Amino acid sequence: MNSVDQDLRPVIVPLDATARSAAILPVVRAMLELFQAPACIVPLDPKAATLALLSEKLPELAALTISDCGKPAADPAQAIIHAAQERNGRGIIMALHADPSSGSGLEAFNETVLREMHCPILLIPPEERLAEWRLRRVVLPHDGSPEVGRAIRPAVRLAERAKATLLVLHVSGAGPPPEQPGSLVTPRYIDQPQHEWPAWAAEFLERVAALCGKPVEVPMRMFVARGEPGREVVRFTREHQGDLVVLPWHCHLEHPHALTLRTILHDPPCPLVMLPADRNSETS
């Protein structure tokens, strides 16, 4: 999901013939339109291993621009990874397969793809309201670190294409604040709230915008919550009717990593896009 408009690389979309796959298609379609990218469909169901067979089960596929079709494999995760690597996929869009008993809240094949593929991955939980899904409000949980600031660039560009509003959410009070130089966290001293909060919010949003590399051309609003970040992101997204949550992450799902991400995956409020954060680009 690059910001290069002329990028013709496909987005990898694994599907089977189930209702769950059918449910995510409105989101897939909207995202492909936003990126003006074709889809590479990866069949996950051996009984519908070709595009033609899949299309019989999922007539909505006809509305998508499809470049080609990946090869089915015994292991769905490997099929997705293979397709993404072979086609240099811009990203992966797939249904979220929940498994509350797992540490991540995901079924193993979801988990494997997340762990193996360091590209943007959009996970779509099955919801009834997806039929009318549109990208209007993008929730950007942000810990204030420059690393996250850089990681969210693609999401900001996505919001711009959709003319969506960015709701930047900073959650404080749980763990230690990021220690990277240039991090901006909830201020330790609020001498006069009538000055401190507006100045701090403006500063936060300015840094978000500056680290995106070019001016942000959609409205941005700043919010602060306190508590456990994962729960707060879920609560906030539901309260503000977020359509997409952007989650920079370090590609480690196992404990003790990605606590916030795992909490959200257990109770996803809407589609989630996971963007790999690059630890090596802190300073230049």
Partner 1 sequence: MDRTYEIAPIPFSPTADPEWRIEESGFNLAREHEIESLFAIANGYAGSRGSLVEGSPLSDPATYIAGVFDTGPSASVPELAAAPDWMHIEVWVDGRAFRLEKVDCLYHRRVLDLRQGLLWREFAYRPETGGMIRSSGFRIASLADRHVLLQSMLVQPEDHFTRLGLRLITAPAPDRPGRVRLAPELCGALPEVIDNAPQVIELCTRHSGIRVAMATAGRLWVDGVPQRPMIERSRERLVEAWELDIEPGRTYRLDRIVVIFTSRDHPRPVQAALRHLETLEGQDFGTLVEAHVQAFERRWDTADVVVEGDGDAQRAIRFAIYHLISAANPEDERVSIGARALTGGAYKGHVFWDTEIFMLPVYLLTHSPSARALLMYRWHTLPAARDKARQLGFKGALYAWESADTGEETTPPHALALDGRLIRILNGEQEQHIAADVAYAVRQYWEATGDDEFMLEAGAEILIETARFWASRGRLEADGRYHIRTVIGPDEYHESVDDNAYTNGMAQWNLESAAEAVARLAHRWPARWQELARRLGVAEDEPAGWRDVAGRLYSGFDPATHLFEQFAGYFDLEDIDLSAYGSNPLPMDVLLGAERVRKSQVIKQADVLMLIYLLWDRFPPEVREANFRYYEPRTGHGSSLSPAIHAALAARLGDLTTALRYFRQAATIDLADNMGNAAGGVHAAALGGLWQAVIFGFAGMRLRPEGLAFLPHCPPDWTRLEFPVLWRGTELRVHIRPGSIHIMAVAGTTPVPIQVADAPAICLAAGESRTWVETGGIWQEASS
Q: Which chain residues interact with partner 1 by CB under 8 A?
A: 144, 146, 149, 172-173, 177, 181-203, 206-207, 210-211, 213, 222-226, 282-284
Residue 282 Cβ, how far from partner 1 at the closest point, in Å? 7
Residue 148 Cβ, how far from partner 1 at the closest point, in Å? 10
Residue 36 Cβ, how far from partner 1 at the closest point, in Å? 27
Residue 140 Cβ, how far from partner 1 at the closest point, in Å? 14
Residue 208 Cβ, how far from partner 1 at the closest point, in Å? 10
What angle (nearest 5°) sits at the alpha carbon of residue 255, between those of residues 114 and 242? Answer: 55
**Closer by beta carbon to partner 1, 146 or else 268:** 146
**Closer by beta carbon to partner 1, 144 or else 248:** 144
The SS3 call for residue 127 is coil
Residue 252, both tokens:
């480690």
CB of 117 closer than 8 Å to CB of 84: yes
Residue 274 Cβ, how far from partner 1 at the closest point, in Å? 22
Residue 9 Cβ, how far from partner 1 at the closest point, in Å? 26
Strands 220-226 and 244-249: unpaired
Helical axes 19-35 vs 153-162, angle rounded to 10°: 90
**Closer by beta carbon to partner 1, 87 or else 207:** 207
CB of 146 closer than 8 Å to CB of 209: no
**Closer by beta carbon to partner 1, 31 or else 208:** 208
Residue 187, both tokens:
């201020």
Q: Sheet holding 91-95: strands in order across?
A: 66-69, 39-43, 11-15, 91-95, 121-124, 272-276, 244-249, 137-141, 165-172, 220-226
Residue 153 Cβ, how far from partner 1 at the closest point, in Å? 12
**Closer by beta carbon to partner 1, 81 or else 222:** 222
**Closer by beta carbon to partner 1, 101 or else 192:** 192
Work out the burial of residue 144: count CB atoms within 10 Å of its CB; fewer than 13 is exposed, 13-18 middle, 19 or more buried.
buried
For CA atoms 3, 5, 7, 12, give the dihedral sign.
positive
Residue 53, both tokens:
């067979």
**Closer by beta carbon to partner 1, 59 or else 213:** 213
Q: Choose among 239, 236, 219, 238: nearest CA to 228.
A: 236
Q: Choose among 82, 8, 10: nearest CA to 44.
A: 82
**Closer by beta carbon to partner 1, 68 or else 196:** 196
